[in-house]
Amino acid sequence: MDALAAAQASAPAISTITSHFMLAGTTYKRGAELGFEGLDFYVTGRGGVLGDVDAGVVAAAFVVFEPANVRTQWEKGTAVMSPRDAARAFAACAADWAAAHVPDDLDAARLALLAQQVATSARVAGAPVLAGWRTLDAPTDPAGAAVHHLNALRELRFGLHAACLLGAGLSPVEAVAVKSPGMAPIYGWSELPPVDDALHERWAQAEANTDRAIAHAFEPLTEVERAELVELAGALHAATSA
């Protein structure tokens, strides 16, 4: 399996697996215990790896989120704790989710190693949240490490995909309308534009360009290792999406 094929085949798993911990009720229960309210924990926890920055910087990195909404949540969240501490707490929720959901019969240690190699080799250009996430310590247990490094790949793909969406001529709210209209409230959009064939074509173009943009990160793996990563990530995706 070549690098581009691996990028394409792994996309569903990479895009989806760690979104489960980000949206899990247990994550927001923990956020409430820490003093956050709802999505304030998501914005501050995910964006916290960017450091003590203005909310506009976070909105720039989140791309498809409504900027004013990001500002409200960021400012509320950073009043609870520092961005860096929020990021660590958010990452701990990923580890807790992994412990509860990664199957015992999955070779999580191998998945963690392969995902780490891809994430470490990736260029950070266009993926600021990846750059920040890579500064966090990974869990030492295999399940937690696997999910941690898969989230690095998710942030890589998200950053590059966002750039490709804009390059294809889609606005942030149009991208949400095409791909994830049901997620619009989470992204902070109260109204979505109509979607036509032209927008779908632009989104498909952006997806193909994303695969090409991320393929470089898979180059250090052998063909066999790429296929192995795709298989293991796919198995975890299937197990956690059932």
| pLDDT for the residue 17 | 97
Q: Which of 182, 212, 206, 178 is nearest to 194 (CA)?
A: 178
pLDDT tens, 9-59?
Answer: 999 999 999 999 999 999 999 999 999 998 999 999 999 999 999 999 999
pLDDT digits (tens, 9 = 90+) for 151-187: 999 999 999 999 999 999 999 999 999 999 999 999 9
- Whether the predicted pLDDT of 242 surpasses 90: no
Q: Would you state the pLDDT for residue 51?
A: 98
d(CA 240, CA 38): 23
Q: What is the mean pLDDT of residues 2-15?
A: 98
pLDDT tops 90 at residue 80: yes
Total domains present in the chain: 1
- The answer to whether the predicted template modeling score (pTM) of the entire model surpasses 0.85 is yes
pLDDT in tens, 87-134: 999 999 999 999 999 999 999 999 999 999 999 999 999 999 999 999
Q: Which two tokens stand for residue 197?
A: 């064939």
Judge whether 35 and 24 are in contact, CB under 8 Å: no
CB atoms within 10 A of CB 66: 18
> What is the DSSP code string of 13-41?
HHHHTTHHHHH-HHHHHHHHHHT--TTHH
Separation between Cα atoms, residue 223 and residue 75, nearest integer Å = 46
Q: Are 167 and 160 in contact (CB under 8 A)?
A: no
Token pair for 204: 């498909």
Contact present, 43 and 74 (Cβ < 8 Å): yes
Residue 220 above 80 pLDDT? yes
Domain residues for the domain of 8 are: 3-241
**Range 210-239 average pLDDT:** 98
Tokens of 12: 């569903």
